A and B are shown apart, each in its own frame.
Chain A
Amino acid sequence: NAGVTQTPKFRVLKTGQSMTLLCAQDMNHEYMYWYRQDPGMGLRLIHYSVGEGTTAKGEVPDGYNVSRLKKQNFLLGLESAAPSQTSVYFCASSPGQGVTNTGELFFGEGSRLTVL
């Protein structure tokens, strides 16, 4: 069972370059999220989506854009990378709200991005 898959796993960028992280889930989940994790800090929400074609800003959205053209995919883009965006990025998904939603988030393995 694949669950949540992120690509690429590692990437080194130079300041100003652009890139896209891809997240794919095969659990038919409605909600998808992009988090970043930095040392000494909790996971911080960048953007999220509550369904195909919808996106919303999280806690730290500046410098990132997202798209959810298909229910199973959630893309995170960096248009002009900065050293402050060096981090580990996690994608997660969860079922929609309702009695079946336990609140559990299912995470991908993470993408380690370094911006020089």
Chain B
Amino acid sequence: RKEVEQDPGPFNVPEGATVAFNCTYSNSASQSFFWYRQDCRKEPKLLMSVYSSGNEDGRFTAQLNRASQYISLLIRDSKLSDSATYLCVVNIRTGGFKTIFGAGTRLFVKA
């Protein structure tokens, strides 16, 4: 079983739609959580950190459920520019830190 699992998609949604991505992690020693965005043939970039209390950044909302070991990302009012791959990332404390990337969920927003 992969340490971080995501639905690979692709998710095809019209502009203005709300779309949600889930991610599950298997290591209970996971300490910090992130969503990264990766555009086609580009490097990953941090979208937002994920906190236990949930956090929102404009149209994006991230939630963490430690008991069930999953993380979610909600995108409201989708824009064409949201088309990208969204990577779920987990930091595990193992003496130092071990960063595990999910394989990503591909999103296509259509006009």
Q: List residues of A whose CB falls within 8 A of some B CB.
A: 35, 40-45, 50, 90, 97, 102-105, 107-110
Separation of A108 and B45 alpha carbons in the complex (Å): 10
Contact A105 B42 (CB under 8 A): no
Contact B42 A103 (CB under 8 A): no
Point out the residues of chain B lying under 8 angstroms from A104, CB to CB.
34, 46, 49
**Leading 3 A-B pairs by shortest Cβ distance:** A42-B101, A107-B43, A43-B101
Point out the residues of chain A lying under 8 angstroms from B12, CB to CB.
none
Contact A108 B8, CB 8 Å, known A40-B103, A41-B103: no
Cβ of B72 within 8 Å of any chain A Cβ, yes or no, is: no
Separation of A102 and B34 alpha carbons in the complex (Å): 10
Contact A103 B43, CB 8 Å, known A40-B8, A41-B103, A42-B102: no
Contact A43 B44, CB 8 Å, known A50-B96, A105-B99: yes
Q: Chain B: how many interface residues by the 8 Å CB criterion?
A: 22
Which residue of A has the minimal Cβ distance to B6? Answer: A42
Cross-chain pairs A/B with CB under 8 angstroms, 19 sampled? A40-B8, A42-B4, A42-B100, A42-B102, A44-B101, A45-B99, A50-B96, A90-B43, A90-B44, A103-B49, A103-B97, A104-B34, A104-B49, A105-B44, A105-B46, A107-B44, A108-B43, A110-B41, A110-B42
Separation of A105 and B41 alpha carbons in the complex (Å): 18
Contact A103 B32 (CB under 8 A): yes
Cβ of B55 within 8 Å of any chain A Cβ, yes or no, is: no
Give the one of B8, B43, B97, B102 with max A CB within 10 A. Answer: B43
Contact B102 A107 (CB under 8 A): no
Point out the residues of chain A lying under 8 angstroms from B42, CB to CB.
109-110
Shortest B25–chain A CB gap in Å is 12
A-facing residues in B23-50 (Cβ within 8 Å):
32, 34, 41-46, 49
